[in-house]
Structure 1
Amino acid sequence: MLRGVDLELFPGQIVALVGENGAGKSTLLRILVGLETPDLGELRRVERVGYCPQEAALYARLTVREHFRLFGSAVGLSVEQINQAAEELLDQLSFAQYADSVTDELSLGTKAKLNLALALLGEPRLVLLDEPHASFDWDTYLRFWELAKLRRQDGTCIVIVSHRTDDTELCDQVYNLSNGKLGRVS
């Protein structure tokens, strides 16, 4: 249960959210994205939020490209914008060879790439990532951080739930969630 969480996020920040399993990190992200409602308090959001849940929200029988079309149209992108964004993200995360593969046939790591790419569609100003790179190989993990730094330069705020201590060194702010309370670590 979350108690008195006070979190202010700014453009161009990468923020790490750490804490023990069950501390409420995923719940906090679901509240921030609007999937859960807080019992008390006030929440102010930017116009477009990208969300990468821990469990990939993918359709087994759709191809990677079809996912881009579906999610891209849901955020109001034109066909041309969807195609351009898809090509860029497929290249940046190095999984273009799977563009026409059915999701059911993808490895766990490739599904994680797709899950992340869908959260980045439409260039959201706030991106909430719940352990986005848990299934990534080392090369993809490095590509992820290159992409995060590029998005930060564009003024995007990125919040990453992570259990990796080396991640926190790459972040502007680190918050620890413990016993339902959020404390700033750095």
Structure 2
Amino acid sequence: MDGWLAALAAELHRHGLGSDLTGHVVAEAAAHLRDSGESPLAAFGPPDTYAAAVAASVGGPTPAPPGRVVGPVRLAVRGITKRYRRRTVLADVDLTVRAGEVAAVIGANGSGKSTLLRICAGLARPDRGTVRIDGRLGYCPQDGGVSDFLTADEHFVLIGAGRGLDRSAARRAGLGQATALDWAPKPGVLARHLSGGTRQKLNLSLARLGTPDVLLLDEPYQGFDRGSYLDFWHQVWRWRDGGTAIVVVTHLLNQLDRVDTVLDLTRAEAAA
């Protein structure tokens, strides 16, 4: 794996990518390979081919210009503290995300990234602090979120009902979200027969049902191939430009210029 990553870095430099962006791409690839257990060639293909695809993607949606006008505060996290027995996982965490902004939550394993999103989604209770959400909420967990014995269509109808959509509207919305992720659900196929990457596309499609104002994404691209991974980030930028407030748990480093805010929980954990 190390040799492939080194070759990828060299190819990215050859395509004119700067050291910071090259480091981000290599770190993302390394994290994916570590989490998935796949070989580099199976996951991404030859390093020169993947580098060319990344270089082409950089010419896609541009970062928002400095000083741009954003919308109202959609997510306000204040002083969130969470302990498990004697261990403090989150300590006085603050985060503000406005409409039309993307916030990246980064940190080492065990630093509380998923716990923070579960608290924001109302699925876990903090020991101290508050979370205020203005608008509709969508949540894509890292694991789970789908039922093994339901089809994609049945998921759309079930989750859509909770978002106030009738059956037809839920199906149309779900298929629209799936199409945006370059996935065409096959009728009658249960979720337990989907690959890991396709299950995540289903998870992400469900989170987007009802066009939420706040979108919480916990490493939603796990299992994606290189094309789906790049498509995912293009979709994030489109959702941002459409006014959604987005929080993404990711391995991105804080110099990445494609997000508006970075919350580094490794530092918060060290301070605790």
Normalised by the length of structure 1, the TM-score is 0.90
- Asked whether 1:138 is paired with 2:229, we answer no
Shift of 1:164: 3.9
Structure 1 stretches lacking a partner, 5+ long: none
Pairs within 5 Å for 1:1-186: 1-165=89-253, 168-178=256-266, 180=268
Deviation at 1:77, TM superposition (A): 1.2
How many angstroms apart in 1 are the aligned matches of 2:233 and 2:259? Answer: 10
Task: Classify the secondary structure of the residue corresponding to 1:60.
Answer: coil
Greater helix share, structure number: 2
Q: Distance in 2 between matches of 1:166 and 1:54?
A: 21
Give the deviation of 1:161 after TM superposition. Answer: 0.4
Instruction: Decide whether aligned partners of structure 1 residues 152 and 69 sit closer, same or farther in structure 2, where only a CA change above 3 A counts.
Output: same
2: CA distance, partners of 1:67 / 1:15: 28
CA distance in 1, matches of 2:251, 2:209: 25
The count of aligned residue pairs is: 183
Structure possessing the higher relative contact order (Cα contacts under 8 Å, 6 or more residues apart): 1
Larger Rg: 2
Counting aligned pairs with the same residue, the percent is: 41
Q: How far apart in 1 are the matches of 2:169 and 2:128?
A: 38
d(CA) in 1 for partners of 2:185, 2:101: 32
* CA 1:182–1:152: 2 relative to 1, 3 Å: farther
Query: Counterpart in 1 of 2:42?
Result: none
TM-score (ref. length: structure 2)? 0.63
The alpha-carbon deviation at position 79 of structure 1 amounts to 2.3
Per-residue CA distance 1:72-111 (angstroms, 9 max, x = gap): 1112112232122122112111221435311111111100
Alpha-carbon distance between aligned partners in 2 of 1:68 and 1:24, rounded to the nearest angstrom:
30
Structure 1 residue ranges, 4+ long, deviating more than 6 angstroms after superposition = none
Cα distance in 2 for partners of 1:147, 1:99 equals 25
**CA-to-aligned-CA distance 1:121-140 (integer Å, 9 cap, x gap):** 11110100010102111111
Contact 1:6-1:182 at 8 Å conserved across structures: no
Counterpart CA distance in 1 for 2:254 and 2:230 is 12
Distance 1:139 1:46, change over 3 A: same
The runs of 5 or more residues in structure 2 that have no matched partner are 1-88
Q: Work out whether residues 68 and 86 of structure 1, in 8 Å CA contact, stay in contact via their aligned partners in 2.
A: yes
Q: Check conservation: 1:11, 1:157, Cα contact below 8 A.
A: yes
* Preserved CA contact (<8 Å) 2:139 2:217: yes
Q: CA RMSD in A?
A: 2.0
Structure 2 distance, partners of 1:122, 1:175, is 27
> Which amino acid in the other structure matches residue 190 of structure 2?
V
What's the CA shift for 1:147?
A: 1.4
What secondary structure is seen at the aligned counterpart in 2 of 1:110? helix
Find the residue that maps to 1:28 and give its secondary structure.
helix
Q: Distance in 2 between matches of 1:91 and 1:47?
A: 25
